[in-house]
């Protein structure tokens, strides 16, 4: 990334986020493995930006767990175990780095622990507006099946609507992580042997939420995610899709 200062907005935010993205991706893809991380002055020179831009980008990467700064030791790259995997940027960089069945399996294991419980809460707690959002997500999936909407976006919209309908602020906080990681998960399942999201299974989640049947809502959501888990298990050991 080499961008002149003249291209930034009055607060330098465009350049800061561009540098954040470039450095974050470089760290996650291993560009700095075994290498000294550049100083702020070196980064500013390399990327033709001000020290304030590099300083802010480094602060943001530190907050995401990718970097650490210590007196007399400078800024160093943190091991992957320290990265904040719930940060959507970190997750996006990981998913862009290289397709990994292990990462997809771990994400699916997280989903199967979170989304069925969120669906059950939605059945108990959702108001008419929240249920309408789930219905709208399902209708978008129907439209995608007919070729008039995007299959990826509509599927994500459905699952995010269920998280929001749970009425639980903590489950709602998963929406950015779920939206980011679902992009890779759904592409994988949709591309493997021509599979697409099951409308009847998603309809079962919606119907259970509308019927205020929390057990049925959780069970129906479990079926959706378990199908992904089983598909991953079935292809592990083969060459992963890129």
Domain at 56, CATH number: 1.10.10.10
For the chain, what is the radius of gyration of the CA atoms? 21
My answer on whether 204 and 231 are in the same domain is yes
My answer on whether 49 and 113 are in the same domain is no
My answer on whether 147 and 208 are in the same domain is yes
My answer on whether 227 and 139 are in the same domain is yes
My answer on whether 33 and 149 are in the same domain is no
My answer on whether 59 and 171 are in the same domain is no
Domain at 171, CATH number: 1.20.120.530
Long-range contacts, stretch 83-87, CB < 8 angstroms, 24+ apart:
83/28, 86/174, 86/177
pLDDT at 9: 46
Q: How many domains does the chain have?
A: 2
| Sequence-distant (≥ 6) Cβ neighbours of residue 201 within 8 angstroms | 220, 223, 224, 227
Which structural domain range is residue 199 located in? 98-235
My answer on whether 43 and 12 are in the same domain is yes
Name the nearest CA neighbour of 27 among 52, 5, 58, 70. Answer: 58
pLDDT at 6: 40
My answer on whether 78 and 45 are in the same domain is yes
My answer on whether 212 and 102 are in the same domain is yes
My answer on whether 114 and 227 are in the same domain is yes
Give the residue from 82, 113, 139 where a domain finishes.
Answer: 82
- In a domain, residue 109? The reply is yes
What averages of pLDDT result for each successive group of 10 residues across the chain (242 residues)? 44 79 94 91 92 94 94 88 91 78 86 96 97 98 94 93 97 88 77 72 98 98 91 67 39
My answer on whether 60 and 133 are in the same domain is no
Distance between CA atoms of residues 60 and 49, nearest Å: 16
Give the predicted TM-score (pTM) of the model.
0.79
- In a domain, residue 87? The reply is no
- In a domain, residue 241? The reply is no
- In a domain, residue 242? The reply is no
pLDDT at 13: 64
Q: What is the 3-state secondary structure (H, E, C) of 186-241?
A: HHHHHHHHHCCCCHHHHHHHHHHHHCCCHHHHHHHHHHHHHHHHHHHHHHECECCC
Name the nearest CA neighbour of 8 among 41, 37, 46, 50. Answer: 50
My answer on whether 159 and 189 are in the same domain is yes
pLDDT at 196: 67
- In a domain, residue 17? The reply is yes
Q: Between 51-63 and 40-47, two packed helices, what is the crossing angle to 10 degrees? A: 120
């Amino acid at each position: 990334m080499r961008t002149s200062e003249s291209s930034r907005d009055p607060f330098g935010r465009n350049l800061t986020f561009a540098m954040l993205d470039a450095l974050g991706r470089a760290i996650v893809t291993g560009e700095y493995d075994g290498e000294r991380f550049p100083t702020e002055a070196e980064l500013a020179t390399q990327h033709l930006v001000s020290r304030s831009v590099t300083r802010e980008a480094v602060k943001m990467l530190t907050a995401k767990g990718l970097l650490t700064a210590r007196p007399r030791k400078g800024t160093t790259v943190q091991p992957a175990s320290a990265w904040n995997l719930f940060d959507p940027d970190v997750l996006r960089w990981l998913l862009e780095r290289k397709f990994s069945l292990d990462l997809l399996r771990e994400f699916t294991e997280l989903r199967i622990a979170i989304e069925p419980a969120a669906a059950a809460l939605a059945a108990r707690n959702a108001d008419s507006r929240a249920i309408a959002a789930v219905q709208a997500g399902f209708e978008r999936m129907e439209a995608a099946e007919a070729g008039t909407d995007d299959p990826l976006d509509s599927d994500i919209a459905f699952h995010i609507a269920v998280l929001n309908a749970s009425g639980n602020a903590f489950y709602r906080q998963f929406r950015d992580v779920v939206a980011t990681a679902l992009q890779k998960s759904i592409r994988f399942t949709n591309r493997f042997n021509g599979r697409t999201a099951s409308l009847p299974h998603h309809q079962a989640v919606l119907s259970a939420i509308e019927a205020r049947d929390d057990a049925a809502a959780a069970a129906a959501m479990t079926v959706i995610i378990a199908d992904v888990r089983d598909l991953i298990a079935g292809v592990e050991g083969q060459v992963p899709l890129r």
